[in-house]
Amino acid sequence: MEIPADMIDRIRGARHICVLTGAGISAESGVPTFRDAQTGLWTQYRPEELASADAFLRDPELVWRWYRWRRELISKANVNAAHLALARLEKLVADFTLVTQNVDGLHQRAGSDHVIEFHGNIFVNRFFKEGAEVECDDSEPVPTCPDCGGPVRPGVVWFGETIPPSALNAALAAASDCDFFLSVGTSSLVYPAAGLAELAQGSGAAVAEINPQSTDLAHTYEFAIQEPAGVALPALVASMVSE
């Protein structure tokens, strides 16, 4: 597929590119997105019903089973052409910021050096009460702190929880400063992540979206590429390096 020449020109001429990725960029790695129907045991649950502190307090074992299922699935997944293309793009652009809503760590595995994990990382464990990271034996049904015995939770941001201040501030700064904002593989339904594109637009940046299903905000963007990320991003990088 061809990336529109005017979009390549805008990217080439950009001083600072900010990219926001969502679950769609890992879809071609076999990691189900949130909008996809949950599979197997999880078909009866919506992610919002499991990814919350209330759900954890109600049934910590169930929530841990869900996260262990996802950790297992992600550990077996491979990075895909989209992750690799972004890792390459980072090296081609002087000022590049990657913000991901994903907790799967696949951008880092693909070689992206600086990743802002807006919603944390599924492989990290944290004290449920204090929030600090903890190394613990997480094979128990509900892992507990070896010292205080308190419950341990996955190090992700749940619905109703605030974004870690360092990630939030870095993402807001990049969205405000960039002159090209690229949204890849997100339904743009979850805030405040979905507000980053609007912030960039309001600060004068050109905004592009890559998503096989156009989102509600796409009509306000300069460019909307209705292709899978694994096709569009390699094509974008190939256009950047040709000539």
Q: Among all residues, which ones are annotated catalytic?
A: 119
- Kindly tell me which of 179 and 194 has the beta carbon lying closer to ligand BV8: 194
Per-residue x/- mask for ligand BV8, residues 175 to 214, rule CB under 6 A? ----------xxx-xxxxx----------------xxxx-
Q: What is the largest CA-CA distance in the chain?
A: 61
What are the tokens at 82? 């989209």
Decide: is 131 part of the binding site for ligand BV8 (CB under 6 A).
no
CB of 147 to ligand BV8, least distance (A): 26
Note whether 3 and 234 are within 8 A (CB): no
Note whether 120 and 97 are within 8 A (CB): no
Which residues does residue 159 pair with via DSSP β-bridges, in sequence order?
52
- Kindly tell me which of 20 and 134 has the beta carbon lying closer to ligand BV8: 20
Which residues does residue 117 pair with via DSSP β-bridges, in sequence order?
100
What are the tokens at 16? 């600072």
The strand pair at 120-127 and 152-156 is best described as: antiparallel
Strands (E), 67-113: 96-100
Decide: is 155 part of the binding site for ligand BV8 (CB under 6 A).
no
The strand pair at 180-184 and 152-156 is best described as: unpaired
Decide: is 23 part of the binding site for ligand BV8 (CB under 6 A).
yes
Site for ligand BV8 in 41-100 (CB under 6 A): 48, 51
Distance from C-alpha of 46 to C-alpha of 202, rounded to nearest angstrom: 33
What are the tokens at 169? 């501030």
Decide: is 161 part of the binding site for ligand BV8 (CB under 6 A).
yes
- Kindly tell me which of 146 and 226 has the beta carbon lying closer to ligand BV8: 226
Interface with ligand BV8 (CB under 6 A), residue from 43, 139, 162, 166: 162
Decide: is 3 part of the binding site for ligand BV8 (CB under 6 A).
no
Decide: is 27 part of the binding site for ligand BV8 (CB under 6 A).
yes
Indicate the residue type of 127.
F
Decide: is 117 part of the binding site for ligand BV8 (CB under 6 A).
no
Of 127, 95, 104, nearest to 33 by C-alpha is 104
Decide: is 160 part of the binding site for ligand BV8 (CB under 6 A).
yes
The residue written with tokens 């081609």 in the block is 92
- Kindly tell me which of 64 and 179 has the beta carbon lying closer to ligand BV8: 64
CB of 60 to ligand BV8, least distance (A): 14
Distance from C-alpha of 87 to C-alpha of 100, rounded to nearest angstrom: 13
Note whether 223 and 205 are within 8 A (CB): no
- Kindly tell me which of 97 and 101 has the beta carbon lying closer to ligand BV8: 101
CB of 172 to ligand BV8, least distance (A): 13
Contact footprint for ligand BV8 (CB under 6 A): 22-25, 27-28, 33-35, 48, 51, 101, 103, 119, 156-162, 185-187, 189-193, 210-213, 215, 228-230
